[in-house]
Every structure is written in structure tokens, then in C-alpha cells.
């Protein structure tokens, strides 16, 4: 550790661990030429989901589904093999988030029906 660094030495150890983790994950999900490409792809999908009047919880669940889809594209389309989770795990994640999205959608529909009934009563 350099002598001109101040503070707790564990901070610098953790920062070194985080640096390695960031490098490993970024190499899995971003393109070589653009380290932010996975965020840019996700933001394009998110733009469509976060509009006025949209169920925010449902939109967030769909963002999580789209993140998994993006990971699947990397595994299948780019042939990446060094991912934290493999293709079956990513597909399971998509299934779980999709089921949660259905539940969130159904709950929002129930609230709308209940709200409509209370207005007419």
C-alpha cells in the first residue's frame, strides 16, 4: 500500500476487490469497444417503460426481464462462456421475473377495478 494514502487500509483492499469484480463483470456484459453498452441497450428498453401513468413496479419487473434477455443475447449471440450464471440460470431468472410481472399486472388491474367501483358507489 502506498504511504500517501490516508484512511483505513481495508478500504483500499475492498476497492481493489471491486476493481477486479467490475472488470470481470464488464467483460461479460459490455462490448469490448464500449464499456457502457449494456446500460445503453437497457436504457433504450427502459425509455419505453417509464412513461407517465405506467405501473412503476410492473415496469421495473420488465426492466429486470430485459436485463436477463440482454445477458442471454450475450451468451447465445456472442458466445460468451465466462458469465456468472449460465444460460439455464438466466432463462430461469427470466421466467421468475416474468411471473412476478404477471402478478404485478394482475394486482394493478384489481386496484383499477376497485378504484372504479369506489368512484361509482
**Nearest-angstrom CA–CA distance, 110 and 121:** 16
- Residue boundaries of the structural domains of the chain: 9-120
**Nearest-angstrom CA–CA distance, 40 and 31:** 11
Q: Could you report the per-residue pLDDT of 19-31, keeping only the tens digit for each?
A: 998 888 777 777 7
| pTM of the predicted model as reported, rounded to 2 decimal places | 0.63
Residues with Cβ within 8 Å of 66's Cβ and at least 6 positions away in sequence, in order, are: 42, 45, 46
Q: Could you report the per-residue pLDDT of 100-117, keeping only the tens digit for each?
A: 999 999 999 998 888 777
Q: Could you report the per-residue pLDDT of 47-104, keeping only the tens digit for each?
A: 777 778 888 888 888 888 888 888 888 889 888 777 778 899 989 999 999 999 999 9
Under a CB-based contact definition with an 8 Å cutoff, are residues 5 and 12 in contact?
A: yes
Under a CB-based contact definition with an 8 Å cutoff, are residues 49 and 59 in contact?
A: yes
Amino acid at each position: 500500500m502506498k504511504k500517501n494514502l490516508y484512511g483505513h487500509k481495508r478500504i483500499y483492499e475492498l476497492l481493489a476487490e471491486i476493481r477486479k469484480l467490475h472488470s470481470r463483470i464488464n467483460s461479460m456484459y459490455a462490448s469490448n469497444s464500449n464499456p457502457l453498452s449494456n446500460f445503453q441497450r437497457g436504457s433504450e428498453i427502459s425509455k419505453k417503460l417509464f412513461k407517465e401513468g405506467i405501473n412503476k413496479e410492473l415496469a421495473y419487473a420488465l426492466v429486470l426481464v430485459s436485463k436477463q434477455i440482454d445477458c442471454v443475447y450475450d451468451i447465445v449471440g456472442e458466445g460468451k462462456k465466462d458469465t456468472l450464471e449460465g444460460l439455464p440460470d438466466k432463462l430461469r431468472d427470466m421466467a421468475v421475473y416474468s411471473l412476478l410481472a404477471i402478478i404485478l399486472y394482475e394486482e394493478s388491474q384489481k386496484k383499477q377495478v376497485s378504484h372504479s367501483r369506489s368512484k361509482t358507489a
